[in-house]
Structure 1
Amino acid sequence: MYLKELHSQHNKHPWIWTPWDLVRWSIALIYGLIQRVIVLLYKPYPPKSPELPNPYGRIAVIGAGLTGISSAAHAIAHGFDVVIYETNDSVGGIWSHVNSTSGLQLNSMLYRFHPAVLWSRGFPHRDEILKEITRIWKQYQLEPRTRFNTPVTSVRRITSPDSQEETDPAKGGHARWVINDGADGIFDAVIVTVGTCGTPQWVEFEGMPAGFVEKKKAEQKRELEKRASADAPSTDKPTFSTEVPSSSSEEGEGNNSEDKAEKDQNTYQGPILHSSQLDSADASQLEGKTVVVIGSGASGVEAVETALARGADKCIMVARDDKWIIPRNMFIDVLIAMQPFGRQMPLSFLWEYFLRLWQYHGIEDLVPAHRGLFEGTPVVNDEFLYHVRAGRCSYIRGDTLRLTSRGALVNVRSRESRPKDPGEKQEIEGDVVVLATGFEKPDIDFLPEDLFPEQYDRPNLYLQNFSTEDWTILLTNSAYQNAIGTVYQHHFTIDTRILLTLLLDEGARPTPHDMKLWVDVVRFLKRGAKGGAFSFFTYMELTIWVILFHILRPDRLRWLPFIMFGWGVHPRKK
């Protein structure tokens, strides 16, 4: 599988062998062997049949994206029954709603959402990612346990006067939960994996056709309602219209040709796309055109790459604020993630100086002037800066004031400026406007409000993911804001196995007081960190948290092999 791409390329020219070919084959072979070793050592055995006769407990998983499928697969492999609730009609989460050219930012060796994953390349694209998610979903008997088109509207506690001690976290117990109307029974824990990206976020600018944003939001709402009311799941990818509504109104008597001409002069005339729509029919209009991309985050960088790959003549990125861009180099990324303090430190300038030389040579003006490397999630990319150097993409730092009939009016600023500082107004002309404005943050309003008291709401949670009021509520990847790290152990495996450990061992459970104290201590140690103590972390910081989780409670040490590696807990026999 991991040699397939190289093999197909070599078959086209079997008579050509170069030293570089041998290096690539060797790397591919080693890469594949490492993955096989990981599978052999860490993959938990999937159930042999859909029946789980004697489970340790029952867990509800809200969200069938990459995180939810991984969490559910781990839970069932270790003897816990699960039910997955998914608003849409397919697994994959955000990966099922992005362009086919969208791929991993991190090297796939660092993006192992489950030990059984087998990637074919270093940076796989959407279809391969969805294929692996689906394969894990089927292999771990999760199909009959998934409720598609089922939005979660309520998560409620089950209380009983006869079992108050069993359901009181302060006394070593934990709450029991029912989802929606309780049709699936009682659950011992809930894992919320709604992620950080929901529906496309449409930002309204003056100069858009009348009602444009309202129409897009209405389309998204109708699509979600359609999925929720569907009788059976569908494998079709949901689509949203990219039609640009007319800038004139058919209502009223004052809409004469002069009014229409005046409106057209102030209204953008070309297609307006969201960065997630570049697979749509209107994306064919990119060929040979100048594309204006509004936004400089990961979606903006990817939009530039995709537009150029689809034949765009040139891209112009309008960046309100500069973002750090780090290379797609596994070793460099791991070294950066090994910074243990999860914040900007006095010596962080060394990494910034290195990146200026390594990554930004020739275009040093793009280096952020007011943002430290350890103050926000960097964009992991190599190609974008090459396009800037080659002149295929122009980078304009400024505030988008409005759209015009020919493009966008931008307050262009210097490198040392900040958003909304004075600058020079310029009209940026383009045939297509792409809004790289990200996605709406999913709500968790279905959870009881008392799980998140003041000062202990997202992201200020125990171990960054557990509610401080009841550890049976785990928000894996749903409290995340910014980080530099990998996506292997902590996000999907360690957090889930900590939850399973606490369900299995009453003596290992933290009380609400303990969990709040932990949050307070981290706040004290990271006081002064930009954005708050929990708004940014590194992978090394997460590792330290897990180590202290065991060291500060020696009675948990016996669970260390299970929590770290998944060893020692197996489903009960009949």
Structure 2
Amino acid sequence: MSTQDFVLFALRHPVLFVYQVIQWILSKVLSPTPPPRKAHLRRPKIAVIGAGLTGVPAASHCVGHGFDCVILEAGSRKNLGGIWSRVNNTSGLQIHSLMYRFHPSVTWKSGYPNRHQIVSQVEQLWRKYGLEEKTKFNTRVTKVYKDLHGRWILNDPSNGRFDGVIAAIGTCGDPKMPHIPGMEEFKGEICHSSDLDGRQAKGKKVIVIGGGASAVEALEFVASEDAEITNVLARSEKWIIPRNPFIDMLLAMNVFGSETNLSWLPEWMLRRFFYRDLADIAPPPNSKKGIFTETPMVNDEVLDLVRSGKAKWLRGDILGFEPDGVRFNRRAQGVPKGGPGREELIEGDMCIMATGFKRPSLAFLPDEVFQPPYEPPNWYLQVFPPEHMDICADNCTYVNAIGSVGNYHIGIYTRFLLMFLVDPLARPKEKWMKRWIDMTRWIKARSPTGAFDFFTYSELIYWFLFVIAIQPFRWKWAPFVLFGIGGALPLAVVEREDKLRKGNGVVH
């Protein structure tokens, strides 16, 4: 880009220009340096399970800080990028990309990039940090166990031996396609919301079954296809918030990570200024479904489509398919699932099953990490099982959250693991990991979702700061863990501590 083109771009797109500058600065300051090709990387050696939006960045942080790793991916090379490699080409971010910078070196060219841009950023990261030669595709992990020397083995020793494990399998696996009575009698087309590429909806009466994020994506698809009418059949109310990064970040600033005495204020404002005349499809006031209980949908177009008459958002229960549509028990606001309503036939000649995805299983981990009351997501910092501080299940244990998708916590969790592995004095003991979990449960005892089933990004940052501040031997690691800088100093201190321990005959 010439100087003249650069100036013209800055003048025509000032906000985007500032965003690009911010991303460039973050990349220069916070991105770890890629290792030279064929560089000898030291231990600890980390096994990363999954080559998606979490696994690739986590591996890049490992090698960028000089530690060896191997990525094991169940799928083929075309599955690089995780769930984003398998969704529709029309899929894109619902939240602003500022809240989806899964690595410091990621550079978005727009506020809401599409699937192709997201996958390309993962692939660029994969190549930049030399992860091609460290990735084993078509390698499904079914068992994780330790050898006699305390090193981790995944499936069998042929995959190597590791000091730590990062499980990065995500929360979205295979499409969930439930069977509904009468589906075989429906004369129209039935497909899953992740299988819309190449399909035609122009002029059709479309039925969307489901009321979550997949339903929003399906609704955007049929709107772009100029369908005649779209009926979204949702079992219950779910919060929709504006596609506005400022509002989304304000909601994520609730450090308590749950409903509070002031939660009525943002909820009232959403009903008054965002839903307005459509407040009937919002969760009812004084219900158990507050804004800080489930992951909200982020979209502006949904309510506009309903107002324009191009779509209807209906609440109720699916009774079954008929040749010309879906038999539906339509319920009023606040009436629970299965409650009384008005039965009607929703006509359609195309049905999109926006029923989400199956959650990938962590069953390959050792049995002891699933023992109540310390089973996922009730783990240390939500991702470290108390029995094994050398396992990090990043971005695959959470249930609901606000402002926490794909941000820089991937690097923080990875560096926490590295700190635990290289510094014996900074390692958490099992009893103290459990005490932290108990303390968090006590703090959030009045939360309708429990301590770990919902959190905000501010609460996540509070967890990080607290866990570092409470243990003096971690203070030297704070710049490294939180920002990825200054790792050489604490490593040098640990090396001197090791020499002192060995000189005094202390074995760890």
Per the normalisation by structure 1, the TM-score is: 0.82
Alignment pair present for 1:62 and 2:37: no
Q: Structure 2 CA distance, aligned partners of 1:273 and 1:134?
A: 29
Q: Structure 2 CA distance, aligned partners of 1:559 and 1:489?
A: 20
Provide the secondary structure at the position in 1 that maps to 2:316. Answer: strand
Paired position in structure 1 for 2:497: none
Q: Structure 1 CA distance, aligned partners of 2:39 and 2:432?
A: 34
Provide the secondary structure at the position in 1 that maps to 2:152. Answer: strand
Provide the secondary structure at the position in 2 that maps to 1:53. Answer: coil
Alignment pair present for 1:176 and 2:151: yes
Alignment check: 8 A CA contact 1:92 1:133 kept = yes
Alignment pair present for 1:120 and 2:95: no
Could you tell me which amino acid in structure 2 is paired with residue 391 of structure 1? G
Deviation at 1:158, TM superposition (A): 1.1
Provide the secondary structure at the position in 2 that maps to 1:276. Answer: coil
Q: 2:256 pairs with 321, 341, 352, which one?
A: 341
Pick which of 526-535 and 104-113 moved more.
Answer: 526-535
Describe the shift of the 1:570–1:315 C-alpha distance in structure 2 as closer, same or farther (beyond 3 A): farther
Alignment pair present for 1:320 and 2:235: yes
Alignment check: 8 A CA contact 1:79 1:570 kept = no
Alignment check: 8 A CA contact 1:106 1:486 kept = no
Q: Structure 2 CA distance, aligned partners of 1:185 and 1:425?
A: 59
Paired position in structure 2 for 1:223: none
Once the two structures are superposed, the pairs formed by residues 157-236 of structure 1 within 5 Å of their partners are 157-160=146-149, 175-209=150-184
Alignment check: 8 A CA contact 1:409 1:427 kept = yes
Q: Deviations over 1:519-555 (max 9, x none)?
A: 1111111113223211000111111111111111122
Q: Deviations over 1:87-114 (max 9, x none)?
A: 1113111001111111112211111000
Could you tell me which amino acid in structure 2 is paired with residue 116 of structure 1? S
Could you tell me which amino acid in structure 2 is paired with residue 392 of structure 1? K
Provide the secondary structure at the position in 2 that maps to 1:27. Answer: helix
Describe the shift of the 1:79–1:570 C-alpha distance in structure 2 as closer, same or farther (beyond 3 A): farther
Paired position in structure 1 for 2:400: 482
Q: Structure 1 CA distance, aligned partners of 2:439 and 2:227?
A: 52
Provide the secondary structure at the position in 2 that maps to 1:141. Answer: coil
Alignment check: 8 A CA contact 1:76 1:82 kept = yes
Paired position in structure 1 for 2:186: 268
Deviation at 1:447, TM superposition (A): 1.1
Deviation at 1:184, TM superposition (A): 2.6
Alignment pair present for 1:453 and 2:374: no
Describe the shift of the 1:22–1:565 C-alpha distance in structure 2 as closer, same or farther (beyond 3 A): closer
Describe the shift of the 1:22–1:184 C-alpha distance in structure 2 as closer, same or farther (beyond 3 A): closer
Alignment pair present for 1:387 and 2:305: yes
Q: Structure 1 CA distance, aligned partners of 2:227 and 2:157?
A: 52
Paired position in structure 1 for 2:504: none
Paired position in structure 2 for 1:377: 295
Could you tell me which amino acid in structure 2 is paired with residue 146 of structure 1? T
Alignment check: 8 A CA contact 1:465 1:479 kept = yes
Alignment check: 8 A CA contact 1:490 1:542 kept = no
Q: 2:475 pairs with 557, 561, 564, which one?
A: 557
Runs of 4+ with deviation above 6 angstroms: none
Alignment check: 8 A CA contact 1:194 1:478 kept = yes
Q: Structure 1 CA distance, aligned partners of 2:365 and 2:421?
A: 20
Q: Structure 1 CA distance, aligned partners of 2:417 and 2:193?
A: 36
Could you tell me which amino acid in structure 1 is paired with residue 154 of structure 2? I
Provide the secondary structure at the position in 2 that maps to 1:427. Answer: strand
- Aligned identity (percent) is 44
Q: Deviations over 1:99-154 (max 9, x none)?
A: 11111122111110000001110000100000000000000000011111111111
Q: Which runs of 5+ in 2 are unaligned?
A: 492-508
Could you tell me which amino acid in structure 1 is paired with residue 432 of structure 2? D
Describe the shift of the 1:570–1:303 C-alpha distance in structure 2 as closer, same or farther (beyond 3 A): farther
Pick which of 364-373 and 129-138 moved more.
Answer: 364-373
Q: How many residues align?
A: 483
Q: Which runs of 5+ in 1 are unaligned?
A: 11-20, 161-174, 210-266
Q: Deviations over 1:145-173 (max 9, x none)?
A: 1111111111111124xxxxxxxxxxxxx
Q: Structure 2 CA distance, aligned partners of 1:22 and 1:565?
A: 29
Q: 2:70 pairs with 83, 86, 97, which one?
A: 83
